[in-house]
Amino acid sequence: MNIKRTDIDALNATLTLEITKEDYQEKVDKILADYRKTANIPGFRKGHIPASLIRKKYRTPVLVEEINKMIQEKLNSYITEEDLNLLGNPLPKAQEEIDWGKDDFIFEFEIGLAPDFEVDVKGKKAITQYEIKTDDKTINDQIDRIRENYGKLIAKKEVAEGDEVTGVFRNDEEEINVDATFSTSKIKGKSNLKKFVGAKVGDTLELKTKGLFNEDHDLASSLKIEHDKAKDLNVSVQFEITEVNEREKAELNQEFYDKLFGPGAVNSEEELKEKLREDAGKQFAQQTDQKLLTDVTESLIENTKFDLPADFLKKWIANNGENELTEEEAAAEYERSEKGLRYQLIESNIVKNNEDLQLKFEDLQDYSRTMIKAQMAQYGHTDATDEEVDQVVARIMSNQEEVKRMSEQLQNEKMLKFFKENAKLKKKELTYEEFIKEAYDA
């Protein structure tokens, strides 16, 4: 069997396979001989069916199956031997109906090649690396929220400023009929607040959704609608008050500290603040790290220029899903996935050129072991033996889905560390509220 590559351009080529009778005859003859021994055909004893009849009945399906196997094996071996970096899989070129009565065959396949390019991780423009300050206001606000959550509800008949109100929002045209509970401290503007203060259980208030709450997400949460819809919603709603409660904050005492962190872990307000500051620092670091990874990714995609075999990829997308797509559907899917594909190629390029970023089986084992120990410690199992941990690790490593998920997590951590050490960054310290507003345009 011969295979020949013809380059169309730097990103597209065709592979031509020539298959002769000598390539498949021996294998096909052996299979047909085995069929003759085992086939059941009415009017003939098993093992005594004429070879010509077996050949007439079974040669074509056997030949088709064997040639398809040969094609796949040859393509795979050729791609490996030539070290071809393909995008997608080879696509068979359309041809007239094959005459399987012939002795020799020619098959052609289109292939899309990954581009050659260089990645400048350093870049020209510095990327902001945010650091969130755990200032006193942030910690005190968090303590107030926790005290409210652990506090007592005192039922009331009339709404006062700062009370928690429960009721039903209604608007027939928008098909709104939902229960909601919120604090009047979230109501925006004096005129709106005035409608609530003094209202009683059983009263129905006439309200406008536009500008009702300080934050759009509170309106989305109360009406149980998407954030984007809440942002632009401007309709009248009725709100029937069904319950009013004053929330009395929990006292800062040892019982409160023990409820939060377990007996004796925190013993004073100062220790509480220090513990919350430590926990907040970890949570903030996760958010700022994710933001940095996203921003570096976007920057690399924008500034690393290379072409893709777009026409081939659209054709490949159209023909390789569960259902065949139209040209328009394939083009739309390509547009949606192009940025992701570009970053996959960029990341592969970076990993290929930096050995420390390449995942090894031992790395995954160690990473899994660390995760298991941390999870066990969370549930108080701090004295697990190496044998116990290794048994759990073995179960995880035998699960393909878990290995895939863990590989992605570890690769992200390695990439984040690499970017912190190699990308051009500028640090910026701000409060959590400032971070949310600046980083996410909130």
Question: How far is it, in rounded angstroms, from Cα 356 to Cα 349?
Answer: 13
pLDDT of residue 442 exceeding 80: no
Listed residue (435, 431, 442, 440) closest to 137, CA to CA:
431
Residue 301 and residue 417 in one domain: yes
The CATH number covering residue 69 comes to 3.30.70.1050
Examine residue 57 and state whether it is found in any structural domain, yes or no: yes
* Percent of the chain surpassing pLDDT 70: 99
For residue 389, what pLDDT is reported?
Answer: 87
Q: What is the pLDDT of residue 379?
A: 73
Cα separation values, 361 from 370, 373, 387, 402, 404, Å: 14, 19, 19, 13, 12
C-alpha of 88 from chain center: 20
410 and 272 within one domain: yes
What is the rounded CA–CA span in Å between residue 3 and residue 350?
Answer: 32
Q: State yes or no: pLDDT of 56 exceeds 70.
A: yes
Is residue 243 within 8 A of residue 155, CB to CB? The reply is yes
pLDDT band per the 50, 70, 90 thresholds, residue 6: very high
> Who has greater pLDDT, 343 or 135?
343
Q: Judge whether 121 lies within some domain.
A: no
Report the pLDDT value the prediction gives residue 318, as an integer from 0 to 100: 93
List of residues 6+ apart from 280 with CB closer than 8 A: 134, 138, 139, 142, 432
pLDDT of residue 188: 95
Looking at residue 257, its pLDDT comes to 93
> Which range among 39-48, 198-207, 242-251 shows the weakest confidence by mean pLDDT?
39-48
Q: Are 367 and 290 in a shared domain?
A: yes
The domain tally of the chain equals 3
Q: What is the mean pLDDT of residues 131-146?
A: 89
Report DSSP letters for 259-298, one per residue. HHH-TTS--SHHHHHHHHHHHHHHHHHHHHHHHHHHHHHH
Instruction: Quickly state the pLDDT bin for 168 (edges 50, 70, 90).
Output: very high
List, for residues 64-91, the tens digit of each pLDDT value: 999 999 999 999 999 999 999 999 999 9
What is the C-alpha end-to-end distance of the chain, expressed in Å? 63
For residue 30, is pLDDT > 70? yes
> Which whole number is the average pLDDT over 119-133?
93
User: What mean pLDDT, rounded, does the chain reach?
Assistant: 92
* 166 and 241 together in one domain: yes
pLDDT digits (tens, 9 = 90+) for 255-267: 999 999 889 989 9
Nearest to 410 by CA among 345, 341, 363, 373: 363
- Give yes or no: residues 208 and 280 share one domain: no
pLDDT of residue 323: 84
Residue 132 lies in a domain: no
341 within domain boundaries: no
* Interval 170-198 mean pLDDT: 94
Rounded Cα distance, 105 and 240, in Å: 78
- Out of 29-43, 191-205, 242-256, 352-366, pick the least confident: 29-43
Rg (CA), the chain: 33
* 284 and 378 co-located in one domain: yes
Residue with structure tokens 């094959």?
98
Convert the pLDDT of each residue in 284-324 to its tens digit: 999 999 999 999 999 999 999 999 999 999 999 998 877 88
Residue 170 β-bridge partners: 177, 238
Question: Percent of the chain, pLDDT > 90?
Answer: 71
Mean pLDDT of 237-262: 93
> 97 with 61, same domain?
yes
Q: Would 134 be classed as within a structural domain?
A: no
Q: What is the mean pLDDT of residues 136-163?
A: 91
Inform me whether the pLDDT recorded for 435 exceeds 80: yes
Tell me which residue range forms the domain holding 46.
2-113
Residue 187, pLDDT score: 96
Q: Are residues 77 and 159 part of one domain?
A: no
The structure tokens 């009339």 sit at 158
Query: How does pLDDT run across 340-361, given as a tens digit for each residue?
Result: 999 999 999 999 999 999 999 9
Q: Is residue 395 part of a domain?
A: yes
**Are both 172 and 236 inside the same structural domain?**
yes
96-100, 249-253, 379-383, range with the lowest pLDDT: 379-383
- Where among 113, 132, 162 does a domain terminate? 113
List of residues 6+ apart from 378 with CB closer than 8 A: none
Residue 430: predicted pLDDT: 92
